[in-house]
Structure 1
């Protein structure tokens, strides 16, 4: 594996600003505090955090994962998600291109559906969760944008959430997966279709499955939020780990991956 695949220089994040319309799913003040801690931790891991005022309302102004699939100096941007996100897309596109030197590829096919939260990159290959939010045409766009990596569509069970809600990368060749029926089914499909082999770290709580592996460090949620899974991380992970409270932000996103776009500047 090219370990630089999990080394990042920058993170694009939305600025948490008092919004015109607040969601009732998450407490705004707690979410803002958690977001501050999240940004501080990324900076401690030598990531240059670009905090961008994306306008709009909370939580759409802090959940940025779906805006793009970024890897190897290329940013694949889906077709505009909805009319209200035009400014957000434009702002992030400008930063990716001008400040971070990424080559921009925009999904051209009007029938293509692809969201970042449905796309898992292991460092060796892509898996795209096929559901209501991402389809086979969208998966083909990922394959075309990153031809040097295998790209496999994986069917997500009806009613299940985004792929990265259940499975993420927890380290070099390690997949972190929840213990629910949906998570196990997805893992089975991935293992059957994968070009490469991976170790799996199964965590008892699905809420623990979405983690971030950044610059040699695993970021997962705090003990008070995932007590059983926290023990698993302690017992099984023998490299750097950091934990963080993310309860409010997780209510409005897939989890830790949902609030940043990680980029390696060429």
Structure 2
């Protein structure tokens, strides 16, 4: 594992956004979500940030919570990042579209090439997109339509494989795959790390993930934030500011 500040593999930074009080009311973006324990949600979010920084050695950048953006902590929905390019998404819900502004600026300040979606007919949720290292899998859902998937392919000049589920190509159970954040290795002697929802949150995922060889599991909990629809992959963006070969 890289030392703190060195970064894990080809990833050097992680971006998260603080949990606002407005999320606890259960009225996030007009969604009528269940009320949640704000203090617990903030603790879980803090632990996630700590593991990204201390356990995985990434430079952590945290956007401040914004009361006008109750679902702002789900910033993984707002961008698809590969290499030095960040595709800023177009959320299905108009109430969530202002969330992309702060993310766009943060990624731009880090030197990434920013691509915005200009097609008003497109919708795209970043957590409906999975990059395997060679291809993108884009799930068509309530949040991502066919045009949004096409824009992923056009942006990264890669094959977009359209499936009925964003993780249908994986052999892990759906709930396990949806709550994994995989950081690929890039340094000699550094094993892959798989940040995942802990067995206490998803008991079945623990058993499935333990079958993966040469992978260090780093469990975290986001059980309270899950009430707001947050999977692990939606709570942070990981990226590299280093040159890509």
Alignment partner, residue 218 of structure 2:
242
Alignment partner, residue 172 of structure 2:
202
**1:126–1:93 distance in 2 versus 1, CA, 3 Å:** same
1:224 offset after TM fit, Å?
1.9
Structure 1, residues 84-107: CA drift from partner, whole Å, max 9, x if none?
Answer: 445432221111112x11111111
**1:140–1:235 distance in 2 versus 1, CA, 3 Å:** closer
1:232 offset after TM fit, Å?
3.0
Alignment partner, residue 127 of structure 1:
137
Aligned with 1:96 (options 107, 126, 150):
107
Q: Is the 8 A contact 2:75 2:103 kept in 1?
A: no
Q: Where does structure 2 lack aligned partners over 5 or more consecutive residues?
A: 1-6, 27-33, 186-191
- Aligned CA RMSD, in angstroms, stands at 2.5
Q: How many residues align?
A: 220
Q: Is the 8 A contact 1:65 1:257 kept in 2?
A: yes
Q: Distance in 2 between matches of 1:141 and 1:256?
A: 24
Alignment partner, residue 13 of structure 1:
16
1:54 offset after TM fit, Å?
4.4
1:260 maps to 2:221: no
Give the 3-state SS of the residue equivalent to 1:213 in structure 2. strand
Q: Distance in 2 between matches of 1:59 and 1:117?
A: 18
Alignment partner, residue 233 of structure 1:
209
Q: Is the 8 A contact 2:91 2:123 kept in 1?
A: no
Structure 1, residues 13-34: CA drift from partner, whole Å, max 9, x if none?
Answer: 1112333762234322211111
Alignment partner, residue 189 of structure 2:
none
Q: Is the 8 A contact 1:59 1:252 kept in 2?
A: no
Q: Distance in 1 between matches of 2:204 and 2:90?
A: 39
Q: Is the 8 A contact 1:64 1:258 kept in 2?
A: yes
Give the 3-state SS of the residue equivalent to 1:251 in structure 2. helix
Give the 3-state SS of the residue equivalent to 1:137 in structure 2. helix
Task: Give TM-score, length-normalised by structure 2.
Answer: 0.79
Task: Give TM-score, length-normalised by structure 1.
Answer: 0.74
1:133 offset after TM fit, Å?
1.6
Q: Distance in 2 between matches of 1:217 and 1:68?
A: 22
Alignment partner, residue 67 of structure 2:
56
Structure 1, residues 216-240: CA drift from partner, whole Å, max 9, x if none?
Answer: 2111222222233313323434321
Aligned with 1:37 (options 35, 44, 47):
47
Q: Where does structure 1 lack aligned partners over 5 or more consecutive residues?
A: 157-162, 168-185, 188-199
